[in-house]
Amino acid sequence: MTRPGEDEFVSVVRSNPAVAEILGRAPQLGLPGWYLTAGGLFQTVWNHLAGRDLRTGIRDYDFFYFDDSDLSYDAENEVIERAATVFDDLGVDVEVRNEARVHLWYEQHFGTPIAPYRSTEDAIDHFVSTTCCFGITTDQGGADVVYAPHGFDDLFGGIVRPNPRLPMRHVYEAKAARWTTEWPDLTVLPWPTEPTTR
């Protein structure tokens, strides 16, 4: 049983040719716990709401998987190279990352240590905005499976909400500033002054 908004979400994001092609080709890679996630999804919906070409302003398409059997750079890089071949002719940047090893480089890149993620869904839960927390994959029969822990109301309402699970206010505010330049009709909620749960 789908939740309110899920069917519309799938319909909209699959109308972006890049999303449809990535989802169609991804099973070739045989990766555990894979999802297409983040900007390629929620920004497609923002473009839909704004009546623009669905690909406008999307810098890349985040493709996550989770393989904790080998946390080496070389193993991840081999997957990145295979994915580059699979997605080569799409004309978009598909950013492939093994979420099982993010904690190994996150502090050097962002200045804050994080605990190891337990799954791809756990990684999606830790985006700086709850409005980013979407993933779509396919099951063995090819049916779409959506991960949307915060539902769809904010997304289709054009609301950007901070996610206190990742306490990086400066990253949230920097991303929100870019997003509102590209999608000026968004409503950006301020970072909370007190810890909140939602």
Read off the pLDDT of residues 146-178 as tens digits, 9 standing for 90 and up.
999 999 999 999 999 999 887 788 889 999 999
| Statement: residue 2 has pLDDT above 80 | no
Q: Is 37 helix (H, G, I), strand (E, B) or coil?
A: strand
Both tokens of residue 1?
A: 């049983």
How is 60-114 classified by DSSP, letter by letter?
-EEEEE--TT---HHHHHHHHHHHHHHTGGGSS-EEEEEGGGHHHHHHHHHSS--
Which stretch of 5-19, 54-68, 107-121 has the lowest confidence by average pLDDT?
107-121
pLDDT at 3: 65
Both tokens of residue 153?
A: 């109301």
Q: How far apart are CA 174 and CA 117, in angstroms?
A: 24
pLDDT digits (tens, 9 = 90+) for 62-90: 999 999 999 999 999 999 999 999 999 99
